[in-house]
Amino acid sequence: MKCYSCGSEPLSEFLAEVAIHVSRPDDLKMPNVMLFPRLLICLHCGAAEFNIPEGELRSLVNRGADAATSG
């Protein structure tokens, strides 16, 4: 598999812990969406990618919609 950013092939997989939250200051009271994805990281340029599971993605979509309508 090649890096989507630089085209290099030294991609490695790592486990991660990611906390995602809406970036508006008044929304920081909302709990984070926690993910534990497998990251693919290019060892040449540092680009990284991961997939968000459907349930967590729905939660992010709802939070984004809430943030858009409350501001």
Q: Per the domain annotation, does 58 fall within a domain?
A: yes
Domains in the chain, number: 1
CB–CB of 62/20 below 8 Å?
no
Q: Per the domain annotation, does 1 fall within a domain?
A: no
Which residue ranges in the chain fall short of pLDDT 50? none
Give residue 41's domain range.
Answer: 11-70
Q: Whose CA is closest to 20, among 36, 42, 41, 40? A: 36
CB–CB of 45/8 below 8 Å?
yes
Q: Per the domain annotation, does 47 fall within a domain?
A: yes
pTM passes above 0.85: no
Q: Per the domain annotation, does 6 fall within a domain?
A: no
Q: Per the domain annotation, does 30 fall within a domain?
A: yes
The dihedrals phi and psi of 52, each to the nearest 5 degrees, come to -105, 125
pLDDT at 32: 85
